Amino acid sequence: MSTHARSRATDTPATPPHPAPLDVAGALLALLRDTSTEPRPDIQLEALTLAVAADLPVLLWGEPGIGKTAALTQLAASLDLPLTTVIASVHEPSDFSGLPVVGDDPAEQGVPMAPPDWAVRLVRAGRGLLFLDELSTAPPAVQAALLRLVLERRVGALRLPPGVRIVAAANPRASAADGWELSPPLANRFVHLQWTHDHEVVVRGLGGTWPRATLPRLDPERLPGAVDLARRAVCGLLTARPGLVHRLPSNETRRGGPWPSPRSWEMTLCLIAFATAAGSSREVMSLLVRGTVGDGPGLELLAGLDRIDLPDPEVLLADPQSAALPERGDLRQAVLDGVVEAVRKRPERTRWEAAWALLVRAVETGAPDLVVVPANTLASLRHEDWDVPASIDKLAGAVSLSRRADRAAARTAVAAPAGR
């Protein structure tokens, strides 16, 4: 071979090796997993984050594939907490209560219960998010073993540090593989959140951007007031409704969800304080409260919270001209009804006239139909020797108009079936 030929062969660039097929597949998967997050209002995520901040065990209920595990993974990453996932249904009861380890002298030293490796890792880290997945497929014996872990945060002889938060996930029994109903003692240890998908969140997330979970910003100046509000709301309701202190549902399925007990009321009080200090919306508060004591007691408590800071009827009767009435219609109606009830309990002419002045102010500053019922009730409280206040003339038009509207609506309702 000539020198010229050898030179040309040497100058020819070597063909780069073809990448392995799995390397190319790995690069494509990396691109698909390359997503970002954005701050986006999400009441489910906010409720979950508040409960985690309050150090309360949370149980996410949702159909398979709804995104419960993905939400927990993203939450752990956002809060910079190492995530430890434990599939409850594939473990034995001893994995949570501890494995007996026989020492040199069991009669003298006893038999200690050794914790599993995942619990040891959490203790070494000092912090983390423990995710108990597929809780509704765990058999009753495993659920019983989980009681101490969820409530006392103990695994065998080991105690999880305060920096560890516990979140679980479950599918409804109808859609769970070999599902079990949650036992009432275990269910009563959780804040239950119904997890549903938001169409816009899913579409935007598949496009590469998911909502970001952030710890709530608690206002230091609100802390004392938040605790006071929570205590007044819970204690006020339970004082008026003592039967709600503990009410175990008779239905087996409902026993596996939220229901009222002293334990769940304590969690509710904590969540109200956290949500108030964080300035959370009523929707978030509703998810947390109903997820702790159930829909019925929860809605009663929420109604009480709406009314807890309403003005005292006696203060309004003392100075009706400068009274500040709530803007919301239902709250304004409650205030006016309370004023009329106060006059009924202590009927005096000056108080009766002050109540009429308040009704006039309500008409001037809001919807006139709200005064119809209070005005009729107040009129029935008049004594024979009490003169009719001149201010009533200002209400006559509003009351008359409202009554005509009611009669027209009634005629329309009657005529509708006849016209079909």
d(C-alpha 2, C-alpha 347), whole Å? 125
pLDDT tens track for 278-326: 999 999 999 999 999 999 999 999 988 888 878 888 888 888 888 888 8
Coil/strand/helix, residue 192: strand
In this predicted structure, what is the pLDDT of residue 379?
85
What is the model's pTM? Answer: 0.74
Please report how the helices 295-307 and 223-240 are oriented relative to each other, as an axis angle in degrees rounded to 10: 120
Residue 296, both tokens: 């019925």
pLDDT tens track for 330-385: 888 888 888 899 999 999 999 998 998 888 888 888 777 788 888 888 888 888 88
Cβ within 8 Å of residue 22, ≥6 positions away? none
Coil/strand/helix, residue 83: strand
Q: How many helices and strands (H and E) does the chain possess?
A: 20, 11
Nearest to 48 by CA among 161, 190, 160: 190
Tell me the CATH number for domain 38-101+109-211: 3.40.50.300
Residue type, 303: A
Cα angle: 381, vertex 385, 388; to 5 degrees: 65
Calculate Rg over the CA atoms of the chain: 32
Q: What is the DSSP string of 291-316?
A: HHH-HHHHHHHHHHHHHTTSPPHHHH
Coil/strand/helix, residue 194: strand
Q: What is the DSSP string of 139-177?
A: -HHHHHHHHHHHHH-EETTEE--TEEEEEEEE--GGGST
Residue 269, both tokens: 């009080």
Residue type, 314: E
Coil/strand/helix, residue 327: coil
pLDDT tens track for 65-99: 888 888 888 888 888 899 999 998 888 888 787 77
